[in-house]
Amino acid sequence: MFTGIVQETGTVEKIERGKDSILLTIRAQRSAQGLKIGGSLAVNGCCLTAAKISGRGKFKRVRFDLLNETWNRTSFQFLKIHSTVNLERPLRAGGEFGGHFVSGHVDGIGRIVRWEKSGADHVLDIRAPENVMRYMIEKGSIALDGISLTAMNVRKSSFRVWIIPHTLAVTALREKSAGDVVNLEADLLGKYAKKFGARA
C-alpha cells in the first residue's frame, strides 16, 4: 500500500526485452536504501517487485521483471533510457499518511491534453479511459504517475488537476508536456463505494 507522496525521482538506465518479460533497471537513491530483493517499490504509481539490486554508495540500480501485460497496460511502454520516474516505498505501519490510499495497481493510461502555467502553479487537463472516469468525482483523489492529486472539472472523459511548484519540482511531472501519457489509478475507496452501492 502506498500514499501517493513521491519520495524521489529515479532514472531509467536499461530496458531489456525478453520473450516473456521486460527487464527494467532504475537508478535510485533514497528509495533504494534498505530495499531488499522481493521488496516492493512504486514506479510511476505501479507496484513492482525488486528482482536484483546492485551498486554501492548512495546510488543503487534496481532491476524489475515486468510481464508483457504490465508493460502494455501502463505508460511503461513509452519509457526510454534516461526517462525520469517517480518512486515511492510502501507505507510502513505507523508511518505518516499524507496522500490517499494507493494500491499501486494501475487502472489505465491517461493523456495530458492541456499543460499551462497559471500564476505560480500549473494546470493539467487529463483525458482518461471510461474505467477510470467512472470512479471520478469533483474534489476526489486520483493517483497520476503515482502522485496523489485532487481531481477538478470532472467531465465525461477528462478531469483537471492543479500542480503546485513543490510537486512540479520533486516529481517527474517537470519533464511532462501536452501529449504525454501518464499512469492513472482511481481512488480505491471510491471503487469499493461504487461496488457496494450498486448492490444496495
Domain harbouring 22, CATH code: 2.40.30.20
Query: H-helix or E-strand containing 69?
Result: helix 68-73
Same domain, 122 and 58: no
At 100 the pLDDT is: 83
Cα 103 to Cα 157: distance, rounded to the nearest angstrom = 23
At 154 the pLDDT is: 97
Query: H-helix or E-strand containing 157?
Result: none
CA angle 16, 62, 166 (to 5 degrees): 110
Largest CA distance in the chain: 55
At 199 the pLDDT is: 60
58: three-class secondary structure by DSSP: coil
At 48 the pLDDT is: 97
At 196 the pLDDT is: 67
Among 41, 56, 88, which residue terminates a domain? 88
At 145 the pLDDT is: 98
| Range of the structural domain that residue 40 is part of | 8-88
Q: Is residue 93 part of a domain?
A: no
- Cβ pair 101, 188 in contact under 8 A: yes
At 92 the pLDDT is: 75
At 56 the pLDDT is: 83
- Residue ranges of the chain with pLDDT lower than 50? none
At 57 the pLDDT is: 83
Cell matching residue 125:
487537463
At 20 the pLDDT is: 80
At 97 the pLDDT is: 66
At 166 the pLDDT is: 96
Number of structural domains found in the chain? 2
Instruction: Characterise 75 by phi-psi region: left (phi > 0), alpha (psi -120 to 50), beta (else).
Output: alpha
- Cβ pair 25, 186 in contact under 8 A: no
At 130 the pLDDT is: 96
